[in-house]
Amino acid sequence: MVSYTVVSHGRVLGTTEFEYRRWKKCHRGGSFLPAAEAEDLIEIAVGVSPTTFALGKKIREIDRLRDQASPAVAARLPHFTATTEHADFESACDRQDRLELELRAPDGSLIPTEWISIRDTEFLLAVSEDDDLELEYEEWSEDEWELSEAECNFDEDDTFDEIEGWADDYESEWNEESEKPFPRYQILVNLLADEDVP
């Protein structure tokens, strides 16, 4: 398979083959193999997710306290933007933005992207096993779980014609291919031009 490279200010973070099944026009995804000397950059590239979850927990905590407290006490509770968690989130976003990640084709040419996201699957799996997070989900009301009709609409222009029948193809591939190790890192990108990554 063809290998693509992610670069930050001339330093190589790693490579990907974008092997994941394509689900939307201009979107690509795959396993991400980090370069041995790019550990410090990878830490920054995946650093937003932990602070996002921490901030979300803090916001829910403040909301619960506000709901349970008297009006006078509730009025003294800090806004989430005044919390340490929000400061950590803003800092992580700033550090990630300053990486100015670029996607390079096999020949080294620049592939324009709207965004590049590298994710640490070990962290995401750990979050999915978080008992506190699971309890918060269980406390959601039926209304909070419902999706509006607008949220369920899809833009036909953003889908591929060949998506029809994908389930049969996927089942066939699953049976034919041996199970691969789950990658530590994954990458998702949004291309400006779909044809840039055939």
The per-residue pLDDT for range 118-169, each reduced to its tens digit, is 999 999 888 876 655 544 545 544 544 444 444 444 454 554 444 444 455 5
Number of neighbouring beta carbons within 10 Å of residue 54? 17
Question: CA torsion sign, 99 to 103 to 104 to 106?
Answer: positive
Measured in degrees and rounded to the nearest 5, phi and psi for residue 142 equal -60, -35
Q: What is the pTM of this model?
A: 0.70
Which pLDDT belongs to residue 147? 45
CB 189 within 8 A of CB 24: no
Which pLDDT belongs to residue 133? 53
In the three-class reduction of DSSP (H, G, I as helix; E, B as strand; rest coil), residue 34 is classed as strand
CA distance 124 to 165: 30
Q: Which residue from 180, 193, 188, 182 is spatially nearest to 6, judged by alpha carbons?
A: 188
For residue 67, the number of C-alpha atoms closer than 13 Å in the C-beta half-sphere is 6
Which pLDDT belongs to residue 70? 76
